[in-house]
Amino acid sequence: QVEVVESGGGLVQAGGSLRLSCRASGNIFSLNAMGWYRQAPGKQRELVALITAEKGTDYGDSVKGRFTLSIENAKSTIHLQMNSLKPDDTATYSCLAKIYIGSYRSPPKDYWGQGTQVTVSS
């Protein structure tokens, strides 16, 4: 059993900053990747930032230079520092953890958090 728990989010004015955190816990053999996606009403879910063992960190084009993803491997925890926030950043942010369960013999499985709301006022 794996649990993915998010924290942070809330309401902020344009130009402000917020920090999201996400922790995976439970029956984790190894982390393959961890990151954030977001979805605004009426829009498709999009990548915010994802760190993988193979490729390092990828950022969505709309957040490059403003958002920074960091990881605490020993704690299976990631932090997303969001600066210079814009109203277009308003969305539900969801944490994804790709986790090997038991061994490397099977592909990693996806586990999602419950989502946290970020609202940026103009």
- What integer best gives the mean pLDDT of the chain? 96
Q: What pLDDT is attached to residue 74?
A: 81
Q: What pLDDT is attached to residue 100?
A: 95
Average pLDDT over residues 67-77: 91
Q: What pLDDT is attached to residue 29?
A: 93
- Tell me if residue 112 falls in helix, strand or coil: strand
Q: What pLDDT is attached to residue 17?
A: 98
Beta carbons within 10 angstroms of residue 37's beta carbon: 19
Please report, rounded to a whole number, the percentage of residues in the chain having pLDDT higher than 90.
93
Distance, in Å, from the CA atom of 17 to the CA atom of 7, rounded to the nearest integer, reads 15
Q: Is the pLDDT of residue 26 over 90?
A: yes
Average pLDDT over residues 26-38: 95
Please report, rounded to a whole number, the percentage of residues in the chain having pLDDT higher than 70.
100
Average pLDDT over residues 2-17: 97
- How many separate helices (H) and strands (E) can be counted in the chain? 0, 11
Helix (H) or strand (E) holding 19: strand 18-26
| Confidence category of residue 73, pLDDT binned at 50, 70, 90 | confident
Q: What pLDDT is attached to residue 52?
A: 93
